[in-house]
Structures are given as structure tokens and as C-alpha cells.
Amino acid sequence: MKKTHSMHPVPKGRTLRLLSLALMGALAGQAAAADKIYTVNADFALGILDGVNYTVVANQLQLNAVGTTFPVAWIANAGEDTVSKFDTNLNKEVARYRTWFGPAGQPGYFNHLNNAYSGPAPSRTSVDIHGNAYVLNRHFSQGTSSGGTIVKILAEGFVDRNGNGVMDTSVDLNDDGIISGAEILPMGDTNGNGIIDDNEIQDERIAWVKRVPDGIGAPLISTGRLGRAMCIGTDGNLWVGIFNDRTYYKVRSSDGVTIAGPVSTTPTANQPNAGSWTPYGCLIDANGTLWSASLGSVLGRIDNTASDTGPYIVSSYSNCSNYGIGLGNGKVYLGSGNRVFDPSSGATSCGALAGMSGVGTSGIVVDGGGNIIGGQTTVRKVAPDGTTILWTQPLQSGGSSSVGIQVDANNDVLQIGFTSAGRIQKYRGTDGAPLGTFPVGNMPYTYSDATGLAARTVTSPTGTWTVTLDGGTAGTDWSKVLWNDLTPNGTAVVVSARAADTEAGLPAQPYVPVANGADPMVAGRFIQVQARLNGNAAGDSPILYDLTVQGPAQGTCDVDRDGDIDKADLSLISRSRNQTAQPGDPRDADGDGRITPNDVKVCTPQCTRPNCALQ
């Protein structure tokens, strides 16, 4: 494992953090108003904790033992070619985005209301560790698309396509919890080519739309090439399965470009082989292994997905009747047939999922604590050993079948009601108590990782701490972000920042990655810094001991930051002799990482008055 202290070697153990405090403490009371050190519980409490804590071990940040996810569920509305952004804290739809041309009257619109198996018909949604959502249109034969179409929707920032400096996007204008009419932006096939071109996208939260594999021109090349599986990999890129072709493709998440494939689902020589399979939903574990449902009795597997070039080792396992798929506890859980597969056992087939006998489980998911939740007309939650934790009934009669079970940021359970009057039925995660029924779009069909729980707790265990600091003046040029951390092998602390002159303006700005001790290259009265803690497959957490944000650079030698260089500054440098310097430390005039008499020699000629007189 490694430890970092800005850019220089440091002593081991807790001395790491204490050294930083001692160094910064020498300047306490004299730092610029915009500077801030976050290092004790009270400091970390000033930020937003998401999947991290400072309570298991005080005065430092580490990942929670029980994983969580974003307070948002992305519900694909298969009957109307949209996706709903549902706030799971407010229990209301807050935005809706088109995944194909519409509404009626727009060129390219395909009317199949109330029919989830015609037209583009989105059904799979995946959420990455940054909260960005990806929606996959299946594309039943309609004379246009070949393969699935992916739509990426940004969680932060926007694409200013019309150059007006304003984020034009879907919003609940009347605050009624239902997105309709003018609250969802239109999209038309203005050039009639049957493809969503970038200049046809009006909602500026939509980053891109690409067909899989990309670069295929209209018209339709072959029928039945349905996009029916999509999952996020350990490198943040996507794997998309084409059903009839029995192939997977790897897609770059930044721009939608296909970077690998087709990868056939026919098993590689000498691998477990229960036959090839039709991709029907997938998830990727922390080792980069893709696990695929098949809408049959075969569980599929592809290894080495983090590579862009392969080789990709393909396997398959029998006795694995499936529909939905979930990962957790080191196992693969399959809906419909209520089956479970343990990769560590060396088995070549699935076994029975304890505790789920007699329950229809088209949708299945594993919560942050490792409990398995499955359901279709009812919902059952069992512990890893099969002990029943809760059993609930649908909140309303009629059309109660669901195609999708999700777990939200509060560990509550969402049952996606597969009806023309689309709805989410919600149950309290602790005891199954009904929490309400909430509207979304037509024929919601979502059993994939619609909240990002699998991505954040299994594929890439992660959590964030986000803090906002007021620089006091517009256009503050933030000069430095630095931190101390402990990163066991395979873990990381990743820091990014953004700035705006108003707090309300921050969400429209993208985060910019920041190197430790470097200039964040952002300006604005308010800076928002996000520290992301990434765990490893073994369950180890990195530790963030402290983080420092510095305002406008004051230059070297002006140690007390009073705008001049005089005897007071030289005295502070002299009293710090033989200490280690952080990058940008005004006492380290020669930049060698140590405070030495040479720093006094370098600063003396820079005094702003004769004989370095005090001012």
C-alpha cells in the first residue's frame, strides 16, 4: 500500500496527518480567508457524506461497511420511449427524457403507446459511480435501427448545444411530481435518416446517443438485433448485449464509441460450456467478470472485461433458469427460476436460491447489506442464508405484475409496476411497510441497475465526500487542493473540483480532476470539492486524513500573507528550519521541499522595504 503527503515522502502511520496539521498550524490565524483545512469530525461534517463516514474511526473518512447509492432511480418507460428520473427521497418524478423521437407530430415518432414490445422500447438502465445514467433502447423491428441505441444522461453539467449559456432540460415546472407536456423537451428526426444526430438533441442533459455497434448507417441492416443487456464495467465503460446475434460489445462511456466486439457468447475452448446464450441483462463484479442472464436456463460469463482488446474468456453454466440478475455476497442471483451460482465453488451449474421458493421473482436485486430481494406480484426479502426478512403485497389491485425490483439510497424497495398507468410501488426496507404508489411513464420496464447500487457496491465500491467553500469574492482564483491519504493496493482517493459565483450555479458545472497539491484550474466565489474513495475487490477502504483548499496564491516568502515581505516573514522561515514543506509553501522559497537557511537567503533580496523593515 502507499501513503501520500502532498508530493513529498512522509513518516508512516498517524504521523502523516499530524505532520500536516503542525505545518499548517504554524501559519494558523494568518492564512487567507479563503483557505480551509478539513481534518477533524467537525470539519468533515461541513460536507455531504455519501457512502463514507468519520465515525467508525474518528477524524478521518472511510467507506461505509454497508453500501448505498444515489437518491435517484432511472425508470425506462417502454411504451412511450422515455426514461423517468425519480427522486427517491422526494418520492416524485423530477425529469423525463426522450430516448427516441417524439412526441406525436415530430418527424421519426413511432407510436406504440401501451405496447412495451414494439418500436424503440427502452428497458435497460445503468448508472455509473458518478450518477450518469445510460438507457438502452431494445429496438424491435421498425424499419430503422440496427441493434440497440444507448442514451447517456448527465448527472452533472450539460452540453450547451444552442450556446445560450443556460441548461435547457426537462424540469417539473408545476412541481406536481409528474413530468408531462412542455416539461419534457421534444426531439425530431429533422434530416429523416432514422438516427438521433447530435444536433437533433434538445435536452442538454443528454450527452450523446449512439447505436451499438456505432457507425452503422440506416436503413435497417437486419431484423431482431435487440439490445437486451447493458452493464457498467470496473473501468466505467459499458458492455452491451445484442439478443439474437448472441454477441456483446464494449462501448466507451465518454462518447459512446464501440471499442471492442463483437464478442460471441459461444464459450471459449476448455471453459465450462452449457452452450451459447442470448444476452438478457448483465452485471459486472469487482474482478471485471461479466455475468449475463439469457432468458433461458444458461448463465453466461465473460472474463477480462476491463481490457479493450481482450482476450475475452467466455463460459456458460447450466441449470440456471433466469430473467433478472443480481450480484452480492460473492454470488450471482437469478430471478424467475430462483437460482444462485457461487463462482468460488467450482460448480458448473446453479443451485436453488434459499428462501425464495414459491415466489415469482422476475426482478431480483441485492441490497447494500447483502440481502436478496425478489418479486413480481409480491416482494420477498431474504438474508444471505435464506431467512425471510419481509414479505409484502402490492399496494393496489389489478395490473400488479412488476418487471423490476430496485433498492434506493435509504435501503427501501422499489417495485416497478408494469402497466399503462406506470407507477412505482415503494416499501420500507426494514419491515416491508407500504410507503406509497408514485406515477412515472407508460409501461415502465426496468430490472437492471437503475439506481447504480450494483455499480457502487459490487462493481466499483465507492463513496464520496463533497464540500463547498465560500471564497468571499466573485471570480476567486482557487490556487491549490492537497490532501493526505492512505490507499491499500487497489484502492484510491480521487479528488475533483468545480467553481461558480453562486452556489446555485455549481450543479451546471462539470467536475475537473485535481492532482494532489495542484492548481484545480477553476475560478468562482464558491468552490465545490469532491473526494471519492474507491475500495478494492477484497473490501479494503482507502482513508482520507485531511484535505486543504487554498485561495488565491500569495507567492513565496510572504509567509504571513499580509501582502509584503519583511523581517516577520524571514523570522517565520527561520523558526521552521528543517521542516518538510508542502507544495506551494511560501517558506520554501527554493522549492526543494525543505525549510532551510537557504530559503531565508532567497527571500532577503525580495524584501519590499530597505533592510526588510517591518511595515
Amino acid at 549: V
Beta strands in 91-243 (DSSP E): 92-98, 122-127, 133-137, 149-153, 206-211, 227-232, 238-242
Task: Tell me the C-alpha distance between 151 and 409, whole Å.
Answer: 24
**Confidence (pLDDT) at 395:** 67
**Confidence (pLDDT) at 418:** 83
- Sequence-separated (6 or more) residues with CB below 8 Å from residue 610: none
- Mean per-residue pLDDT, 306-325: 96
Rounded to two decimals, what is the model's pTM?
0.85
pLDDT band per the 50, 70, 90 thresholds, residue 149:
very high
Strand partners, 284: 290
**Confidence (pLDDT) at 564:** 78
pLDDT band per the 50, 70, 90 thresholds, residue 397:
low
Task: Tell me the C-alpha distance between 4 and 113, whole Å.
Answer: 56
pLDDT digits (tens, 9 = 90+) for 500-538: 999 999 998 999 999 998 889 999 999 999 999 999 989
**Nearest Cα to 372, choosing from 325, 426, 322?**
325
pLDDT digits (tens, 9 = 90+) for 200-255: 999 999 999 999 988 654 443 444 578 999 999 999 999 999 998 999 999 999 99
pLDDT band per the 50, 70, 90 thresholds, residue 20:
very low
**Confidence (pLDDT) at 400:** 58
Note whether 340 and 331 are within 8 A (CB): yes
Helix (H, G, I), strand (E, B) or coil at 417: strand
pLDDT at residue 12 above 70? no
**Confidence (pLDDT) at 375:** 86
CB burial of residue 344 (10 Å; 0-12, 13-18, 19+)? exposed
Domain with CATH 2.130.10.10 in the chain: 72-458
Q: How far is CA 580 from CA 241, 344, 393, 547, in A?
A: 54, 48, 64, 17
Task: Tell me the C-alpha distance between 615 and 611, whole Å.
Answer: 11
Query: Lowest mean pLDDT: which of 221-225, 418-422, 610-614?
Result: 221-225
Radius of gyration of the chain (CA): 27
- DSSP letter string over 345-363? GT-SB-EE-TT-TT---SE
Helix (H, G, I), strand (E, B) or coil at 329: coil
pLDDT digits (tens, 9 = 90+) for 23-46: 344 343 334 446 899 999 999 999
**Confidence (pLDDT) at 217:** 45
pLDDT band per the 50, 70, 90 thresholds, residue 548:
very high
Strand partners, 388: 382
- Mean per-residue pLDDT, 406-429: 90
Q: What percent of the chain has pLDDT over 90?
A: 71
pLDDT at residue 584 above 80? no
pLDDT at residue 596 above 90? yes
Q: How far is CA 212 from CA 124, 278, 490, in A?
A: 14, 16, 31
**Nearest Cα to 392, choosing from 435, 433, 420?**
433
**Confidence (pLDDT) at 551:** 86
pLDDT at residue 6 above 80? no
Q: Tell me the three cell numbers of residue 523.
A: 475560478
Helix (H) or strand (E) holding 587: none
Beta strands in 78-175 (DSSP E): 82-87, 92-98, 122-127, 133-137, 149-153
**Nearest Cα to 290, choosing from 312, 322, 321?**
312
Helix, strand, coil fractions of the chain, as percent rounded to 5? 10, 35, 55
Helix (H, G, I), strand (E, B) or coil at 318: strand
Residue 39 has a CB neighbour count (10 Å cut-off) of 21
**Confidence (pLDDT) at 165:** 92
- Sequence-separated (6 or more) residues with CB below 8 Å from residue 165: none
pLDDT digits (tens, 9 = 90+) for 61-105: 999 999 899 999 999 999 999 999 999 999 999 999 999 999 999
Q: Does domain 72-458 have CATH number 3.40.50.300?
A: no
Check residues 249 and 7 and name the one with the higher pLDDT. 249
pLDDT at residue 334 above 90? yes
Domain with CATH 2.60.120 in the chain: 2-65+461-550
Average pLDDT value over all residues in the chain: 89
**Confidence (pLDDT) at 34:** 66
Q: Does domain 2-65+461-550 have CATH number 2.60.120?
A: yes
- Sequence-separated (6 or more) residues with CB below 8 Å from residue 37: 20, 21, 24, 43, 546, 547, 548
pLDDT at residue 142 above 90? no
- Mean per-residue pLDDT, 545-558: 85
- Mean per-residue pLDDT, 387-415: 81
pLDDT digits (tens, 9 = 90+) for 152-190: 999 999 999 999 999 999 999 999 999 999 999 999 999
Helix (H, G, I), strand (E, B) or coil at 200: helix
